[in-house]
Structure formats: C-alpha cells, structure tokens
Structure 1
C-alpha cells in the first residue's frame, strides 16, 4: 500500500519529491501522480485524522476500487492450458485478456497482478509450473556416470551394464534401463523403448555430444549420427545436442542421474544379477517407486504430474516402431552389383563405379545415392555369395539375353507370321539340345533385322513348300538369291539346250572345248 498520508504531509512541509521518495520508499512517478490527483481533488494536509491510506486511495484513485462487476479476474485454468501450446507465454495471454476485458467494458488487472494470480494458482493446484519448460517439448537423455554389473553364470565374470536415463523436464517423469554397451544400436534402441514407455514422443531430444549420437560436434551445426537422425525422423522429433561442457542445457537429466544413482543403483548394490533381463526387472521396480514417490515441496508425484500435465502434449507414436538399421558405403561394380554382408545385390546400371550408401535392417537392404533411394531388396540369408538381380536394373542387351528362351522365339514367330512361327517350331523340334535350336532361331531373328520381317516370312513360306524340315541355311539362301520376291506359283525357267546327233558317236568337238565351228 502506498503511504498517501505521509506523502501529503511531507509535501506540505516543503520536502522535495526526491526526499519524499526516499522516506516513503516510493518511486517519484507515484509521488508525482499522487500529488497531481490530490490537487485535482482539492485534498491537502492537514485533513481529518480518521482518514487512512485506504480511504485516501479510494478518494484519489477510485478506479482501483472498482466493483468486481467491472474488474475481471483472469481464468487461471485457461491460462494453464494455453501455456502448454508452443510459443505461448504470459505476456501474450495478458494482452489477449486485456483486449477481451476492454471489449466487454470490464477493467483488466495489470500484467504484474495477472502473473501473480497465475503463480498463486499454479503453486496451490498444480504439481508443476509451465514457465520455463512446456509439457511435451523436451526429452533430456544421458548415460549415468555409475555402472552396474551382471555376473556370468559360467565364468563368474562381472560384465558392466550402462544405465540409460531419459527425463521429461516439465513433470520430471523418468525412464531408466540397463544396456550392455554404449554403442549406437543400444543407444537408439533405448530411445525407442523410452518413447513407448512414455506413450508418445517429445518435440525435441537433448543429448550430450557423445559419439554414438553426434558424429561432429559444433556449436551451431552439429552433425547427427545417421541412424540417430533417422530414428528421430521416424518419430517426428528432432535432436538438438547440448553445448559442449554445458550440463545446464539439460538440468533435468543431470538431476535425474543423481537421483537414479541413489535410489536405483545404490539401492541395488547388495543384489547379484545373472542376466540383463533380471537386472532390468529390478530396475523397473525401483523406477516405478521413484516416479510415484511424492514431492516434498508440492503436491503429487512425477507420475501424477505426467498424467495431468504432460501426457496429452506428447506426439502420438507411429503405427510401427522404428527398426534399427546400420549404414554402410559400397561401390557399384561393372556388373551393377554391390557386395553387402557377403551377398550381391543389383543396382541400376547407370550408377556403375559410383559410391552409394547402403541401409541394412534385419529384413531389407536399401541403396541410396545422394540421399535418393535407387534400389531396395529383401535381405538374403543362408549360404554366402547369393546374387539378387532385378531385371529393371539391367541394360537392354542384358535383358534380351536373360529373357532369350523357347518362349521368346515362339512369341517372335507369332508376331512375324504363320510361316515364320511354323519354321521356328520345326527348327526347335529338329535339335536334341535346346541351346543349339535357340542359336539357329537367333540367326533367323537376325535375318529379319538384316532384310525385313516380310521377306523372312516369304522365305519361310517358300522353304516350307519344298521341305517339312526347314533350316536356317535354306532361308538364308532364298534371301540371298532374292527368290522370296518371286510369286510362289511362277515356275523357274531353265535354258534348254538343243540336243544334236553326232553321226560319228561320242566325239569331242568344238562345243566340248569351247571353240567355234567353221
């Protein structure tokens, strides 16, 4: 409350505004406004002693005592829900609240009072406050510094187990599990199980700059591991690593790691485990107790805060979980195949001698060139050295060679004509070995390329008139001599020589030796 009595009294004693401000612990702007209002209301010292500061405020600033019908209290439940949405803050909500009040002839509270109403409401009725962290926005992940162990049943050797920790900053709800290594496959698999534990995915994942997740560290443009980035895209989230040596960028994970070290790792220190599954079952029990433990300074627990404040804001899970894949590089050979895990897979022949990226899962092998998928195969199992070839990946000449069989030449014969089809059938039937017959049929097809299909059809028709067993040679002869151009019914004229009788018997004369008679 402003000390109105003291301000007017000191002003009547000719004390400067600076001195009044120092004495009453009030700003000079407030003192200036009080003196201005007192002059307008014709109120000066001395006045009735029964007047209090509250009475003077009602006289000088009646708008501050407007009835509840004109001053509208903000809807804190609406504010709490709106703060969960991306980009929304208290300043924006107060501006909208003030515009609504003025449009309805109501007096809004100041921004300071607006924030005070909400903070009071959030402290009393909500387990968390949405000021610094929005629900469903972040998931902070990390490896715990301490490790646990699993004993080998046969040798008794202690195998280290690394503890993966994921925490949602808004509700502090945590996921914990043990992994046998800190490799990328284990790191990504732990994320997938964490997403299914939460029942959704956040908008941003904040890890450390560990090598399993970040290929190249950078303050502005870090390079994320290909498998890690692919997993994030599958779940419609993004990875933004914390700055190097800045653990405060993910304080919830760091804090949760400390709690986990005490309430899970330390609490299980006297137990012996012989398998990772057995260890994770014990971790799950401790994790449930940790998440349901009541807060000390506010109502509820991490679990209730997650259900009430954060679960609804998570992005829904995709229809199928992410399948972990490994990425490799390969060079396409001259036979347009690549070697992956001792198996050969075809690639379009246009990419010969190009370096490609290969994505390998348990069931599929995908080939990418400059981030564009150019081939996909079902992963082969069994003996090594198997070759998988797709016909569309082959050059046209190779396709013809692969598809050249009896059906191919018969189909060609049907298209060429009935005589050609009959000729092909009889050539195929005349050889004991199909490859020999196919070679002869290939020669017949080549004749059609050299002459024409019509001429080959006519030649086959003429050959079938002379013999029931046509050969490639007979068709070639007819085409070379041009006999196929003559009508089939026209007989071939032969020059007849007049026979002369020789009275002297068999005598060789000029006709025999090519000379001329005189």
Structure 2
C-alpha cells in the first residue's frame, strides 16, 4: 500500500524524491505523482484527519470504488440485517448485485464484499453477529468458586454452589446459589433464568455434566431424561459442548470468571444464615453487573438485551415447568412398585416388568416403553404405605376386597326379603370374619340354584330355626330340589298316560260318569 501521508511528510522536511523512494519502498514515479497531485489540490498542511485513506480519496478519486464505478454498500444496514434469523452474507450480496445491475454499475465480488464487511464489523463489535445471533443461545454452567452460609446452631460453614447462565450476544447474565449440584437444582436454575429473562432461547449450551448429559457423544449425546423433558416443555433444544472444549461456550466461561470477581469475591465478607438471604445479595450484585456500561461498546448488558436480543427470543411458557426425577423400578408380584419405601400399584399385567418412574413434588407417574400405565398422588409421612387403584387388580382380587357385610346385604336384597333377613341374622350371630365366610358360601349357591329357590329355602329355614347355618340352608335347598324333581316326574307321567290305552274301556264307555 502506498504511504501517501509519509511521502508528503518527508517532502515537507526537504528530502529529495530519490531519498523518499528509497525510504518507503515506492517507485520514484509514484512519489513524484503523489507530490504533484498534492500541489494541484493545494494540500500544504497535514492535519490529523488526513489519513492515507483520506489522502487517496482526495488525490486520486478515480481509484476509489465509487470513482472506478463500484456501488458502495451501506454496511450499517448489512450489520443490522445479519441480526435477523436465517439471514446470511451470501443473500445480502445477491441483493447487492441486483441493485448494482439496476444502476448499471459494478458490484464487488463476494470475497471483496465479505472483506469490506469484516473491516466494518471489527470496528463496531467485539464478536461478529454472524457467529452469535440474538436470542439464539443460552450458555449455562456451574461456577468454579463457591460461597458459604453460616449454620445458626453449630456455626459451621455450608457450601453454596453458584449457577451461571449467559446470553452470548448481549452478555446478559443470571446468577443464583444452590446448596447442591443435583439435577433438581440444575433444572431450577434454568427455570429461574427463563423467568429472569422473561423469555426462552432457541438453544441451550451446557457442559457435559452428569445432571445434564448421561453419555457424552459429540454427534448424538444421550441427555438426562429430566433435562430433556424441561427443554421439550419450553420448546428449546439442548446442544452440549464437546468434551474438554471450553471455547464452545466461551461467553459463559468468561462470565463465570467475571461473576467470580464481581459477585462471589464481592460477597466473600458478607455473613448470611439462609439461602434466600444470600440469593438476595447475589441479585443486587447481578443488577449492578448487568446495568454497568460496556467499556468498548455502547450501552450495557441490560440495554443491549432489551433493545436487540429480547425481541428475538421465544415467549416464556406458563405455568412454570415442574421439576421431576426419573427412576427405574421392577413391578413386584403384588403388582406394586416401591419408591422411597412407599408402594404404588400398576396394572397386574406388568408384573415382573421393568418400568420407568417419573417423580414430581406431589405426583408419581409410571411408564412402560414410553406409555404411561399408572399415576398416583405421591405418599408422604410414614413409610410402608400402599396406594392401590382397584382397576389395577385382577378380577378375583377386586371381588375379595368388595366382599363386606354391606355388600352382602345389598346382594341379599336382590334375592328377596327372606334372604335379607337370613343374612342379617348370620351377621348378628357371628364375628365378622366368620360371618363373611358363611355369606360367601351362600352367594356361591347362586351358581347352582335359582333366585326363587334361594328365597324359598331362606323362608323355610327361618321358619324352623333362629340360628340358621350354611349347612342347614344347603339341606333345605337339596330337599326342595328333590321334591320339585319328584313332583315334576309325577306330572310328566300323568301327562304321558293315555286313558284310552289298551283294552280297558273305562267308566265313560259304560256311561258311568253321566
């Protein structure tokens, strides 16, 4: 590149053109041309604004893009358009070429177009917007440094782990402390971050920690079921980083260090006795961090988020997601599963099967091959409690549980008043367990005898004794059945006998009945 300003400065100092040419590495013809053109333009004094670029445009306007016939692009417009989703430099360059053709002027090649935009972008952004779309990513991680609570009783220090979520485009962050780094705390950190942002990003970028990723495979990582369920609820996608690749989420790594310096170190001398008190102090520091103006760009994290990023994020779904825990259990022979020493029923067809169990604060759901087969309200209090749904039982188990004095009396009413009276006497004269066994035997008799036969036999039995028994009822039924069979055979015999049969004429023949 020709050093226009250097040539003029040396010439003003009285150096010859030959010496200037040797000093800056340009030909004598170039040096002579620059000096002569400066005289023609009457440029006698060099000011700070007269840079090489400015001097070139003034001394040789025909060599500028506009002077050579190129259409100048509005790079501020290009920069703003690239913030939109699915927008690329290739598409903007095609539009630029169409506009140049309409004006019958020259257009930059795609390579030159990209070079000019990169020159512009480097002077206006720390990172190129083509790499970080607004509202696209949310990077999450646990901070390496920790805070502490003071136990009121023992005075011991309780470790508090710090969750950090950062939006790469605006650097807008969320920070919260937890007593552990379990899957539940990990999920709550995400939910509270979404509520703080009042929106949801398109992609979540976590580290390969066990609470988020079960198996770290770069192409198709196996996600923790509870974490995947949270992402599905908020309609976002989880894209974990590569293992041992912190630059894949450089923003949150940088913010972790910044948070450690501004918040964690800022609270190192504050004594708190509860997690809520500590998180309130963290929130105050966080507001200061997000509203502090940038040093090398306009605005602050808050203003950039509100004006440039928030409109592109997904709306926050309500109500908030309910954190769940997933476990695997085996259905026992009594068609129940054990969870936290409490027992819940499933349909008896799944006995000895492995099932997935989803636990929430007040609900338990049982899945077999991704299909829900049972759900129960979660039991609390004493261990060893059973929660059983009648529909999950086999038929004979349902009948056994339904067998009670009340159900027996209801059945007796369908037979008749005498059977009801018989069952009432049996219940009054026997302990409940024995009475139920007798009544069960009476109900089984319905398979052998009709309702009328049971009612008639009950009437007969109650007429001869005030202490009826199952054996007595069976004997009455047998006698009644035998008597009916005898009467039936006589009636049949009389019906089949012909009075005119054989040689016996009878009294009618002789007129004896007239």
- Structure 1-normalised TM-score? 0.70
Matched, 1:184 2:183: yes
Shift in alpha-carbon separation, 1:169–1:58, aligned structure 2, 3 A: closer
Matched, 1:460 2:458: no
- Does the 8 Å contact 2:148/2:160 carry over to 1? yes
- Does the 8 Å contact 1:447/1:456 carry over to 2? no
* SS at 2:199 equivalent: coil
Equivalent residue in structure 2 for 1:442, among 421, 433, 440: 440
Other-structure match for 1:367: 366
Aligned ranges 1:401-480 → 2 under 5 Å: 401-409=400-408, 412=411, 420-431=415-426, 432=428, 433=430, 436=434, 438-450=436-448, 455-458=450-453, 460-461=455-456, 464=459, 468=463, 476-477=474-475, 480=478
Shift in alpha-carbon separation, 1:481–1:191, aligned structure 2, 3 A: same
Distance between the aligned counterparts of 2:97 and 2:231, measured in 1?
A: 40
Distance between the aligned counterparts of 1:488 and 1:97, measured in 2?
A: 112
Shift of 1:487: 10
Other-structure match for 1:15: none
Other-structure match for 1:29: none
- Does the 8 Å contact 1:151/1:158 carry over to 2? yes
- Does the 8 Å contact 2:409/2:423 carry over to 1? no
Shift of 1:221: 2.3
Matched, 1:80 2:103: no
Matched, 1:142 2:150: no
Aligned ranges 1:54-453 → 2 under 5 Å: 54=62, 64=69, 80=80, 83-85=83-85, 87-95=86-94, 110=108, 130-409=129-408, 412=411, 420-431=415-426, 432=428, 433=430, 436=434, 438-450=436-448
Distance between the aligned counterparts of 1:174 and 1:52, measured in 2?
A: 50
Distance between the aligned counterparts of 1:411 and 1:155, measured in 2?
A: 64
Distance between the aligned counterparts of 2:381 and 2:339, measured in 1?
A: 14
Distance between the aligned counterparts of 1:379 and 1:318, measured in 2?
A: 25
Shift of 1:100: 8.4
- Does the 8 Å contact 1:173/1:302 carry over to 2? yes
- Does the 8 Å contact 1:123/1:129 carry over to 2? yes
Backbone CA RMSD of aligned residues: 4.1
Select between 366-375 and 383-392 the one with higher mean Cα deviation: 366-375
Shift in alpha-carbon separation, 1:133–1:56, aligned structure 2, 3 A: closer
Select between 469-478 and 441-450 the one with higher mean Cα deviation: 469-478
- Does the 8 Å contact 1:328/1:358 carry over to 2? yes
Distance between the aligned counterparts of 2:293 and 2:341, measured in 1?
A: 56
Per-residue CA deviation, residues 336-377 of structure 1 (Å, 9 max, x unaligned), is: 112222221111111111222222222112222223221111
Shift of 1:138: 0.8
Shift of 1:228: 2.0
Distance between the aligned counterparts of 1:190 and 1:57, measured in 2?
A: 53
- Structure 2-normalised TM-score? 0.71
Shift of 1:136: 1.6
Shift in alpha-carbon separation, 1:460–1:75, aligned structure 2, 3 A: farther
- Does the 8 Å contact 1:127/1:300 carry over to 2? no
Other-structure match for 1:42: none
Shift of 1:241: 1.2
Distance between the aligned counterparts of 2:349 and 2:171, measured in 1?
A: 53
Shift of 1:105: 8.5
Shift in alpha-carbon separation, 1:164–1:414, aligned structure 2, 3 A: same
* SS at 2:227 equivalent: helix
Select between 475-484 and 119-128 the one with higher mean Cα deviation: 119-128
Select between 335-344 and 73-82 the one with higher mean Cα deviation: 73-82
Per-residue CA deviation, residues 462-493 of structure 1 (Å, 9 max, x unaligned), is: 76478658875566456646748959999989
Other-structure match for 1:510: none
Select between 159-168 and 127-136 the one with higher mean Cα deviation: 127-136
Distance between the aligned counterparts of 1:316 and 1:236, measured in 2?
A: 10
- Does the 8 Å contact 1:348/1:394 carry over to 2? yes
Shift in alpha-carbon separation, 1:466–1:375, aligned structure 2, 3 A: closer
Distance between the aligned counterparts of 1:466 and 1:55, measured in 2?
A: 126
Select between 72-81 and 229-238 the one with higher mean Cα deviation: 72-81
Shift in alpha-carbon separation, 1:462–1:155, aligned structure 2, 3 A: closer
Other-structure match for 2:41: none
Distance between the aligned counterparts of 2:374 and 2:410, measured in 1?
A: 31
Shift of 1:187: 1.9
Shift of 1:396: 0.9
* SS at 2:161 equivalent: strand
Per-residue CA deviation, residues 36-95 of structure 1 (Å, 9 max, x unaligned), is: xxxxxxxxxxxxxxx977399999x8xx38xxxxx897796697367432x332323443
Per-residue CA deviation, residues 157-213 of structure 1 (Å, 9 max, x unaligned), is: 333322221100111101112222222222222122111111121121111112232
- Does the 8 Å contact 1:126/1:299 carry over to 2? no
